[in-house]
Amino acid sequence: MSGSDQEDRWPTRERRTGTDRRKHPERRSGGTAPAAPESERRHGQRRSGPERRDDRAWQPVLIDTGVLDTFAPEDGLLAAARAAREFAQAPYSKFKVGAALETVEGAIVSGCNIENATYGLTLCAERVALVKALSDGHTVFTRIAVVADTQAPTPPCGACRQLLWEYCGDVEILLGNLQALTGRYRLSSLLPLPFDRRLL
């Protein structure tokens, strides 16, 4: 088979970028590809977000160390997170976590951690609650509570912080155990330098 026949049958890909050079002949000659229209660029396809949250809330908020004294014990968000924790599927770690996400309308969507034998497929409680809420059509959130059976506060992991920032903005984070509130923060305190749409 000749080289030209082989090129007609199989797309030739650049080793680093994976670009099909048959579709981009300027790549062969060292030319410069024309810039894609603004509408075709990646950031043009992303949700802008102003309808979901106020950008003024993106200013970093320091941790308030006195809020534990003013927290209302009858707050239902922690109770919802504790109830969700009972459904956690954690046969490997035995570490059960519950989360409850509050929408701007006052609805509460809960979630628990779901583990898998392929550990990388494990889902955190915060992500389960967030995906459930988004799939039900909720887009504006005010608070999330996270509960685990620990004495120290159990904050969201890094991946959960990133997703919460993307879809919830600078929400309030309530941390608790089976008896009491153990911490109360703004998400900006836990994720002080996020990667978000402003960098795209």
Give pLDDT tens digits for 113-141.
Answer: 999 999 999 999 999 999 999 999 999 99
Catalytic residue among 38, 105, 115, 126: 126
| All structural domains of the chain | 3-34 (no CATH), 55-199 (3.40.140.10)
First CA to last CA across the chain, in angstroms?
45
List all residues 6 or more positions away from 141 whose beta carbon is below 8 Å from its beta carbon.
101, 102, 103, 104, 133, 167, 168, 169, 171
d(CA 119, CA 28): 43
pTM of the model as a whole: 0.66
d(CA 181, CA 174): 7
DSSP summary character for residue 196? -
Does residue 51 carry a catalytic annotation?
Answer: no
List all residues 6 or more positions away from 66 whose beta carbon is below 8 Å from its beta carbon.
none
pLDDT digits (tens, 9 = 90+) for 71-128: 455 479 999 999 999 999 999 999 999 999 999 999 999 999 999 999 999 999 999 9
d(CA 171, CA 150): 23
Strand pairing partners for 109?
A: 101
d(CA 176, CA 178): 7
d(CA 44, CA 98): 36
Position with higher pLDDT, 171 vs 47: 171
